Structures are given as structure tokens and as C-alpha cells.
């Protein structure tokens, strides 16, 4: 009796068929569900605006739905008001209308309740779709103030980075939240590095899914010496290597010299001909913005300095910081026009 050997690739193709079908079915069901909630929200909103329904009418509607459709969930008074709020938030906004059915209702609820401006809502809608975030992941990004951190970072990119990588906007942040590391007190740079590699999935969620991990303590050979980059990644969107140097101290200008050396070695000996120049990220415990500005002002390598926090930052602090930057930008525009 001969045993037939079947390649696992044949099996994986079938699994792929199942997954694609499930995703397609989920998208179809989700589209119908979001459209239903929009329709109900629109109906209630128009009745209330026309002064035909008072507050008690929505409660009676919830009771009627429960009586007629006892197995239906989410149509209580609170759920119906959420649908009304959903419709009233996005009605007339053509920019986001095509995005609404692409994420689940539970993700919408987090975005609606935890964001303020339409710009912030649109940011998270597009992010959730692009990165295919789960509800838990999008909640974590909102709670960590990703919108504020991204907007602040966009204003701090050096001309060298923008010239070398024109599409770099929104890729890097000024502050990274590493609350998932559970580091000892005190911790060393090795603890920090090991903590990141142990929690690589969460770190990639924080830095962005276009990053692909290459190596921890990546060895560079220059002359007769060996040098080690703490963490080396490749960014698919920028098509370049990204070196992360980890520091448990405040930023010091001399850190840039070491990073410039690493980037030169990467570009000469590691980078593929079709890839773009490598980027360096010096990730420090904290930084003095004025010191960083001075250090980077004549630096010719595409490097940036960021800081990390091991606990979530109060979003109000981030919002105040972003507001200050907007005011400075507006004052600069007025001064330039005058």
C-alpha cells in the first residue's frame, strides 16, 4: 500500500479560499449593518428635527422593536441614539461616506465617543481601513493619542528627511508609547531592546505595519571592527532600511554621530541598489526640543530623534501641545503675509 504525499501548499490554497470567502461575507454583512444603522439614525434624526418626536418617543420605539423583534440586539434606547449620532456626525460629508461601511460598528462607536474634530475622526477611519485594525487595536491607538502624536511629528521632520523621502509624512512619530513592555525598575538598554523584541507584534502596531523586522543587534563590519545596530527594520512604503538606536537617557548630540556612521555603513554595504537611503531613529527616554533642533540643523543624514513613554500620556496634554503648534503655525502664516 503506497502513501500519497500531498504538498502542504495544496492545503494552504484551500484555507486561503475559506478565508477570502469569510472576509467577503463579513464585509457584505457589515455593509448591510452599517447602512441599516445609518438609515435608522437618519429616520430618527429627521423626526426629531421636525419636532414630530420628543425624547420619550425614542424610548417607545426601542420598546416596540423589542416587542416585535425580541431576538434583535442593539436597538435599545442608547443604541438608537448612537445611530442618530452616527448619522448626524457624518451626514453631508462626502469625504468619509465611502469609508463608513469598511469598518465594524464597534470601531465606529470608539471613534465617535473618543474623538473630537472631523479631521481626527477621518484620520482614524482611514487608519483602521488601511492597517486593517481590529477593534481592540483601533481603541488602543485612540487611547494613546496617535492622531495628536502624528500631527505633532509631521511638523518636526527635517528638510533632509523630507527631501530624501518625499512620502515620509505620517510615518514617524515624535513620541512612541511602549506601555506594553512591563520593564523592570530600573531598566537597561538591553532590557528595553529585549522587551521590544519579545513584544514585537505590539511594537509593530505602535510604529506601523509597513515596518518589517529584520534583526536585533544587527552586525555591521567596517574595517577590522564590528558594530551593532539595536534594531533594524525595513519600511515597505519608503522602501528603505530603518535603524533604531535605543537610549535610556535624555538625548545627547553625540548620539547623532554614531547614527550617521551606521547609516553610511548601511547605505554602502547593505542597501540594495533599488532601495532608498536608510533612515535612522534615535529613541530616547526624553529630549530637549531646542537641543534636538540645534543638533539636527546641520546634520546631512536622514535621521530623527524621538522619545518613548512606558505609560499612556494624558490626551489633554497632547491636545494642548498640538493646539500650541497650530497657533504658532498660524502666527507664522500671518507674519509671512504681512
- Which three three-digit cell numbers place residue 42? 437618519
- With respect to residue 137, please indicate whether it lies within any of the assigned structural domains: yes
| Mean pLDDT calculated for residue range 172-184 | 92
pLDDT, residue 308, reads: 95
**Ranges of H-type helices in 132-199:** 135-143, 146-154, 159-164, 189-198
* Assigned C-alpha cell, 64: 416596540
Could you tell me if 300 and 208 lie in one domain?
yes
- Spatial neighbors of 151 by CB under 8 A, at least 6 apart, are 322, 325
Those residues with Cβ within 8 angstroms of residue 275's Cβ, 6 or more apart along the chain or in another chain:
239, 240, 241
Judge if 200 and 263 occupy the same domain.
yes
Using 50, 70 and 90 to split pLDDT, how confident is the model at 333?
A: low
Q: Is the same domain home to 191 and 304?
A: yes
Residue 8 counted as domain residue: no
- Supply the pLDDT for residue 8: 62
170 vs 96, higher pLDDT: 96
What is the tally of structural domains in the chain?
A: 3
For residues 81 and 117, membership in a common domain is answered with no
**Residues 276, 266: Cα–Cα separation, whole Å:** 11
Give exposure, 27-64, as e/b (b: 16+ Cβ within 10 Å): eeeeeeebeebbebbbbbbebbeeeebeeeebeebbee
Where in the sequence is the domain holding 260, given as residue range(s)? 156-322
Q: Is residue 314 part of a domain?
A: yes
Same domain, 182 and 66: no
Q: Are residues 182 and 279 in the same domain?
A: yes
Domain identity same for 272 and 315: yes
DSSP 66-92: HHH-TT--S-SHHHHHHHHHHHHHHTT
Q: What are the backbone dihedrals phi and psi of residue 241, each rounded to the nearest 5 degrees, phi first?
A: -75, 145
Does residue 245 register a pLDDT over 90?
yes
Position 1 scores a pLDDT of: 47
Looking at the fold, whether 246 and 281 belong to one and the same domain comes out as: yes
Query: For residue 78, is it within any domain?
Result: yes
Residue 117 has what pLDDT?
92
pLDDT for position 122: 96
| Whether 43 and 76 share a structural domain | yes
Same domain, 191 and 300: yes
Per-residue pLDDT tens digits for 81-125: 999 999 999 999 999 999 999 999 999 999 999 999 999 999 999
Asked if 112 and 211 sit in the same domain, the reply is: no
Report if residue 28 sits inside a domain. no
Place of cell 533612515: 279
Q: Is position 239 within any domain?
A: yes
Distance CA 260, CA 142 (A): 34
Residues 107 and 180 in one domain: no
**pLDDT confidence of 3, banded at 50, 70, 90?**
low
Report the Cα 150 to chain-centroid distance in Å.
8
Residue 121 lies in a domain: yes
Report if residue 74 sits inside a domain.
Answer: yes
Amino acid at each position: 500500500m503506497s502513501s500519497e504525499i500531498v504538498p502542504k501548499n495544496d492545503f494552504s490554497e484551500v484555507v486561503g479560499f475559506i478565508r477570502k470567502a469569510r472576509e467577503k461575507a463579513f464585509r457584505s454583512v457589515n455593509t448591510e449593518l452599517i447602512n441599516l444603522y445609518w438609515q435608522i439614525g437618519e429616520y430618527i434624526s429627521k423626526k426629531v428635527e421636525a419636532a414630530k418626536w420628543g425624547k420619550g418617543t425614542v424610548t417607545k420605539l426601542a420598546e416596540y422593536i423589542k416587542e416585535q423583534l425580541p431576538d434583535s440586539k442593539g436597538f435599545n434606547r442608547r443604541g438608537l441614539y448612537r445611530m442618530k449620532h452616527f448619522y448626524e456626525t457624518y451626514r453631508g460629508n462626502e469625504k468619509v461616506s465611502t469609508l463608513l461601511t469598511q469598518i465594524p460598528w464597534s470601531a465606529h462607536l470608539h471613534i465617535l465617543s473618543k474623538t473630537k474634530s472631523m479631521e481626527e475622526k477621518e484620520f482614524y477611519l482611514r487608519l483602521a481601513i488601511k492597517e486593517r485594525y481590529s477593534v481592540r487595536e483601533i481603541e488602543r491607538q485612540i487611547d494613546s493619542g496617535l492622531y495628536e502624536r502624528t500631527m505633532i511629528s509631521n511638523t518636526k521632520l527635517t528638510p533632509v528627511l523630507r527631501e530624501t523621502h518625499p512620502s515620509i509624512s505620517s510615518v514617524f512619530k515624535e513620541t512612541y508609547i511602549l506601555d506594553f513592555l512591563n520593564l523592570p525598575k530600573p531598566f537597561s538598554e538591553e532590557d528595553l531592546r529585549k522587551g521590544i523584541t519579545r513584544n514585537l507584534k505590539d511594537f509593530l502596531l505602535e510604529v506601523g505595519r509597513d515596518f518589517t523586522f529584520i534583526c536585533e543587534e544587527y552586525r555591521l563590519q567596517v574595517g577590522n571592527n564590528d558594530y551593532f545596530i539595536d534594531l533594524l527594520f525595513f519600511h515597505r512604503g519608503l522602501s528603505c532600511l530603518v535603524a533604531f538606536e535605543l537610549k535610556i537617557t535624555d538625548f545627547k548630540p553625540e548620539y547623532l554621530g554614531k547614527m550617521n556612521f551606521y547609516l553610511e555603513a548601511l547605505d554602502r554595504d547593505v542597501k540594495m541598489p533599488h532601495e532608498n537611503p536608510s533612515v535612522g531613529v534615535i529613541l530616547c527616554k526624553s529630549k530637549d526640543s531646542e537641543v534636538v533642533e540645534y543638533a539636527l540643523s546641520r546634520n546631512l543624514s536622514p535621521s530623527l530623534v524621538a522619545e518613548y513613554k512606558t505609560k499612556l500620556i494624558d490626551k489633554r496634554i497632547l491636545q494642548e501641545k498640538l493646539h500650541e503648534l497650530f497657533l504658532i503655525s498660524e502666527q507664522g502664516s500671518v507674519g509671512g503675509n504681512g
